[in-house]
Amino acid sequence: MDSLFESCKSLKTLKITNFNIAGTYSISNMFKDCRSLTSIDLSGFKTENVRTMSHLFDRCVKLKSIDLSHFNTTSLEYVSRMFYGCESLTSAILPKFNPNKLLDISELFYNCISLEKTNINEVVSNQIVQMRQIFHNCKSLSSIDLSNIEINNVKDISGLFSECHSLQYVNLDKFNTSKITSMKSLFSNCHSLTSLDISHFNTESVTSLSYMFYNCISLENLLVNFDTPNHQDIRYMFTNRSNLNELELPKFNTIKCRKFTEAFDGCYNLKLCIDGTYFNLRNICPNYVEIIDITD
């Protein structure tokens, strides 16, 4: 069933009420590049054996809303790029996933620039291994709750919220980041984010923090507890965060770090509290950043 309707660029509406796919394991790319599709009814789909739905609606650029709550996802493992490039999508109701099966949700809503509402907060999973760039360039999304998603096996959350220009609230309270190696561009260009508490993040395995808060121009309050013995790249990490007045990084270890380019450029009002035992960036911080060494 893969790619069954792919590139049917004149298809505008579709209703499937009696279509037995009970023996099908993959419906990837099924409606990919159906660029005129505005309405779709899949109430007749029997999806209990489907393992992958990756790219299912990839670049259905005129699709405005979709409700998949009736999908049986007992066997589903892969939904990466499911709505990739659905530029007109404002609302997406996801099915109830099997928490012991779902593995890959990376780039799920990538470039869904009109997305305002999704029930991803109802998604419960404890087996996910891939989730990078889920909401990349979701410019209209103001609130995201991932409190029910466990990331115990995830290593890469780079670009998870990058380019979410309207994002004001994000709930990551249950994130276990002990195995994460890359947080690159995690919140880059989140222009509307004013406050963020990720002090529970475990960063001991992280090697890249580059662009993590790049151009978060409204961020005023940031709580972190970075312990970074292995990070190697902090390029542009805090660049253009001119509203932040104070930042405490007592365990920010730069011993292995080799890439520092413009990490604090544009932080004109920043008072940086560090432990000089671990932090050796005096020679690369701009002279307008006030550095306070709290070494005992």
CB 51 within 8 A of CB 80: no
The answer to whether 43 touches 68, Cβ cutoff 8 Å, is no
pLDDT tens string 196-226: 999 999 999 999 999 999 999 999 999 998 8
Backbone angles phi, psi at 233, to 5 degrees: -145, 115
Q: What pairing do the DSSP bridges indicate for beta strands 195-197 and 169-171?
A: unpaired
Record the tokens describing residue 137, joined without a space. 């360039």
What gap in Å lies between CA 203 and CA 253, rounded to an integer? 11
pLDDT-flagged residues of the chain (< 50): none
The token pair at 152 is 């115990």
Q: Provide the pLDDT for residue 292.
A: 84
Report the percent of the chain where pLDDT is more than 70: 96
Q: How far is CA 14 from the centre of its chain?
A: 30
Residues contacting residue 24 through CB under 8 Å, at least 6 positions apart: 1, 49, 50
Distance CA 203, CA 171 (A): 18
| Residue where the block lists tokens 């799920």 | 108
Determine the pLDDT at residue 278.
59
So what's the pLDDT on residue 59? 98
Structure tokens that stand for 117 in this block: 């509402």
| Residues paired with 290 in a beta bridge | 271
According to the model, what pLDDT value does residue 282 have? 61
Whole-structure pTM value: 0.92
Residue 148: what pLDDT?
86
Nearest to 142 by CA among 123, 122, 158, 161: 161
**Residue reference for tokens 């891939």:** 130
3-class secondary-structure state, position 169: strand
